[in-house]
Chains A and B, each alone.
Chain A
Amino acid sequence: MKYLRKAWPLYILMLPALLYTIVFKLLPLYGLGIAFKDYSLFNGRDAVDAIAASEFVGLDNFRKIFSEPEFLKALANTFIIGALKLVILFPLPILLALFINEIKQRHLKSCLQTICYLPHFFSWVVVAGIFFNILSTSGLVNSFLQMLGLDKINFLMNGKVFRWVLVVSDAWKETGFSAIVYIAAISSISTTLYEAAEIDGAGRFDRMLHVTLPQLTPSIVIMFILKTGKILEENYQQILVMYNPVVYETADVIQTYVYRMGIGQMDYTLGVTVGLFNSIISFALVLLANLLCKLITGRTAI
């Protein structure tokens, strides 16, 4: 009683967030029931009401999605595009941070930082618009290729090339901003380490290799693990606006597939089943990543 007399304001303060969590985070979990039912919109008065009225079929829907070639393709694409981005895009911000740290002219440095951070603040729609523009058959890049006497490339319609469009546009948008965390980590390295290295005769390259990089390693490990954990969710906003039916074969990922099937064709059963599968894998990946992080660095990432 004495505790509550003093602490009740704390619970009042938490109330909006609690309400939000119950309504927008926990209530939707009820909709997951669709994944285990022979669901039809016509079983009830409305889409939600029909969930309880539909017949329970166990894991039938999951068996079905695994015989769906389009789903299997989307699943494979998710991991391929995710891995491609991880391998190619992960080192870029680290390099950028290391290099920008070597620039001693303050104005040049902050000017470069300002420009490099900027695209992060554009939506994927804007970035897609910009890339469609420069990659179109009459666009900047193809004009340049022509000038060099090379053949034009239809970047947006060629499945193999399109994956690279996804990787490059992601690099364009996020490399700068992702470097901030490393730039901040570098600026917190003690100067005495550098002074000691300098006395030992280490040049700038050696100092980077033997002082900066080892000091950055914990941040690098954590960021890598976090990125791996999010491999399933990251691409949705980008691909949904950039892809087109010609490149579904190589660019359709789980989330875009759910959008097309669930919202586009109103196949809620397929949408929810695939979505739940995605959530479970995602959940497992995050937990695994967190466990790894704890084992390697001794602290949790989430």
Chain B
Amino acid sequence: MKKPRGFKDPAYVIVSYLFPIILAIIILIPFLNVSAKSFSSSSAIVSGSVFFHPIGFDLSNYSYILDTGLFGKAFANSVFVVIVGTLLSVMTTAMVAYPLSKKELKCGKFFNYLYLFTMVFTAGMIPDYLLVRKLGLSDSLWSLILPGMIWTYNMLILKSYFEALPQEVEESVFVDGGGYFCCFFNFVLPLSKASLASVALFYGVSYWTDYTKAMLYITSQDKKPLQLFLYEIIAQGAVSGDMSSSFTLVSAEGVKCATIVLSIVPMLLVYPFIQRFFTAGMLLGAVKE
């Protein structure tokens, strides 16, 4: 095997390394800047001298945010929504995906089209808003979970996974006198742990990052999830750039940075554990029928 000569390959290899490395740097720089500011004194932040390491190391931004108690409350609300929401979503999605993966199911086609239709045609923001109010769910954490509980897309992922499971196991269950419940809970669910985890990841991330539902439905301070809490802190100074009266002792920017860092940390902590499910999940999504 002889190596071809020319400038094409070396140039290509250099670009191959440079592009991802530059992207990674571009991703890290703003992040470093924000963390540095969050640990800096307000005078250093206001003078614009903080770049990649804290100047005048100071934890008052953090103590300001944490002392109000609102952050803790908002964080607890988000954790509740993520855990309860993800459990409910994964369970109900798996429960509907399993019957639909069965060829012998009568009316299966009808249900399939029903779920596909609700995926591509939605009533829109205002009708959803009116419904949540009519159901008496507004200003409750359930309004952040129930209206988006099942995604047809995730259902399709699980369905195609269930379809590919070996049928012999189920047949032997039937021979032993077991029914579909037995098949589903004792065999199908345990066999599908990896794809259930991927779907749980999709749901969990969306429950964690969504702020629009909270903007629509949540009004009282003690029901606000973390992202809405953060939204209000960030949007407060986004347009006018000034500080509200309560921000006089610490700089508004420092407080914003501290809040951003605080709301990123939980994600960074779980990130190493969820990372191995990314590829599996994306592949499941890509290999439909």
Contacts and interface: CB of A to CB of B under 8 A. Distances in A.
Interface of A: 3, 6-7, 9-11, 13-14, 16-18, 20-21, 23-32, 34, 46-48, 95-96, 98-100, 102-103, 111-112, 114-126, 128-134, 136-138, 140, 143, 156, 172, 175-177, 180-181, 183-185, 198-199, 201-206, 208, 219, 222, 236-237, 240-241, 244-246, 255, 258-259, 262-263, 268, 271-272, 275-276, 278-279, 282-283, 286-287, 299-300, 302
A156 B126 contact: no
A184 B282 contact: yes
A133 B33 contact: yes
B194 interface: no
Sort A-B residue pairs by CB-CB distance and give the 9 closest, nearest first.
A31-B127, A275-B124, A17-B96, A123-B209, A28-B123, A102-B16, A10-B99, A28-B127, A9-B180
Interface in B1-22: 1-4, 6, 8-9, 11-13, 15-17, 19-21
Contact of A31 (B1, B20, B123, B150): B123
A124 B208 CA distance: 11
Contacts of A241: 211, 231, 234-235
Contact of B27 (A20, A118, A138): A118
Contacts of B215: 240
B164 interface: no
Interface in B83-129: 92-93, 95-96, 98-100, 102, 104-106, 111, 114-116, 118-129
Interface stretch (B53-61, B63-71, B255-263): B255-263
Contact of B179 (A6, A131, A278): A6
Interface string B237-248: 011010000000
B126 A184 contact: no
A134 B149 CA distance: 36
Contacts, number: 296
Given A136-B241, A279-B124, A203 B19 contact: no
A185 B285 CA distance: 12
B173 to A, nearest CB: 12
B289 interface: yes
B131 interface: yes
Size category of the B interface is 35 or more
Given A117-B275, A129-B230, A130-B30, A31 B126 contact: yes
A187 to B, nearest CB: 8
13 contacts: A17-B96, A24-B131, A24-B149, A46-B134, A111-B24, A115-B27, A123-B230, A202-B4, A236-B212, A258-B126, A268-B126, A283-B121, A286-B120
Contacts of A237: 210-212
Given A13-B96, A278-B124, A302-B116, A31 B131 contact: yes
A13 B98 contact: yes
Given A13-B99, A283-B120, A48 B130 contact: yes
A159 to B, nearest CB: 14
Contacts of A28: 122-124, 127-128, 130-131
Nearest to B147: A24
Nearest to A128: B234
A203 B8 contact: yes
Contacts of B216: 263
The prevalent SS among residues of B at the interface is helix
Q: From B23, B31, B122, B215, name the one whose CB has the most chain A CB atoms within 10 angstroms.
A: B23
Given A99-B20, A203-B9, A204-B13, A172 B27 contact: yes
Given A124-B209, A237-B212, A279-B124, A130 B31 contact: yes
Contact of A258 (B2, B124, B210): B124
Given A203-B9, A272-B126, A112 B16 contact: no
Nearest to A168: B26
B165 interface: no
B127 A3 contact: no
B264 A122 contact: yes
Nearest to A133: B34
A120 B127 CA distance: 29
Contacts of B26: 172
A302 B120 contact: yes
A204 B11 CA distance: 10
Nearest to B115: A21
A7 B106 contact: yes
A271 B3 CA distance: 64
B139 interface: no
Given A16-B95, A47-B133, A198-B1, A115 B28 contact: yes
B212 A129 contact: no
A175 B23 contact: yes
Q: From A27, A96, A137, name the one whose CB has the most chain B CB atoms within 10 angstroms.
A: A27
A20 B150 contact: yes
Nearest to A99: B16
